[in-house]
Structure 1
Amino acid sequence: MPELPEVETIARGLDPLLAGRRVISLTVLDRRVFPGDPEAFRRVFVGRAFAGVRRRAKLCLADMDNGAVIAFHLKMTGRLYVARPAAEPRAHLRVLIGLDDGRALHFDDMRRFGSCRGFAPGAIEAWDFFRKLGPEPLEMACGQFLDALAGRGGRIKALLLNQEVLAGIGNIYADEALFMAGIRPDAKADRIPRARLEALFRAIREVLCRAIDAGGSTIRDYRTAEGVEGSFQW
């Protein structure tokens, strides 16, 4: 499953490709990954320009010039990329958003666990999943990290994977950071010495930054916005 570094890489790759481009069409090929109403989506998004692309947790968010947002959750096998005009659609294409330069934003998902959702201006803040997301690990200080874990008796790896505690970390980078900090994944968080938790905070930041610099990790399905595999492997 793409985690924080992979989604960050995709968002950074898509941003210059989409910024300023207008949406001219929406084709939904599989409603299982598109929970909303396609017609309602078209009314909000067709004719609008992309203002930029960013990441929040494991979500790739495309901001529009009217304040609307398209949220892509890649889950296990989702891929998000800009295809050239007349490019042959891939076998698992689920959603196609046509652009005013002839290209298209493609959302592929072999296993259909991912999703594409459109939100009218201001509406994403009311989405329960989005509202409950925890702080970003690369935007918090060590003290905030310690506060997030304070009083929690659960296993440390489970807490790192809890998106309401920390947003964006998954199995790959939780394991890597715990190994670097010398902490067992099943250790109870409230029994880990403060110095060791501080080492874990530093390890999380180091692992995530290194992975972003390497373009993420490719185990099987992940690709960047240009279709390239990530090079951070353990």
Structure 2
Amino acid sequence: MMNILAFRHFSFDDDFAFRSWASAGGHHFVLRDPSVEISLDWLDNLDLLIICGGPMSVYEEDRYPWLIHEKQFVAEAMNRGKKVLGICFGAQMIAELLGSPVYRNSYKEIGWHTINRTPEQHAWLVDLPEPLVSFQWHGDTFDLPEETRLLAYSEACRVQAFAYREHVLGLQFHLETTPACMEAMFDHWSSELIDAPYIQSEEQIRSLFGQSEVSIKLLHQILDQISR
């Protein structure tokens, strides 16, 4: 059994993909909002930290001062050798903590986009197909940190997945996002769905809602590998 902690950064982010996997495997899963409470004591019995996505940027500490404490927690988790999975905002936080700047990408990437694997391998991604299609919603990107391996990229974003040693994985894409969460994102952030090269319309995104089930299965395969 694993003790899993996930940090959620907006209220309507759907934890179904993580919680359903943890429940099926008999793992203990806790979801927390790091802007409300955080303690390094949580690390003592932690096996896996999941850092979920968020609408803020990792460099906005002046606007979100709680980011300082979350970064301290994540850095300590990595230093202790805890398993860490960062998704989108979470991957960007890991990259920054490893010394790489996070900044606005030339293009926002919103919708279902193709992701290509590199020749580099990592045990946690052994079941990930080449190529794959995943949901994305991000405007920031980062340089590949030193001492990490580039595992995947897309046409609009050169770092879609990277690994630090064997215990830390960053994914820029969202395998976990459910159709219900996407609908909530439309309600809150529809102003971002403009006519641009890598931004799909609501109709285009909805037309591929069925891909979400495939994506969640891929995420569960990654979590299966992490739990070994």
Report the TM range for the smaller structure's normalisation: under 0.3
Larger Rg: 1
TM-score (norm 2): 0.27
TM-score (norm 1): 0.27
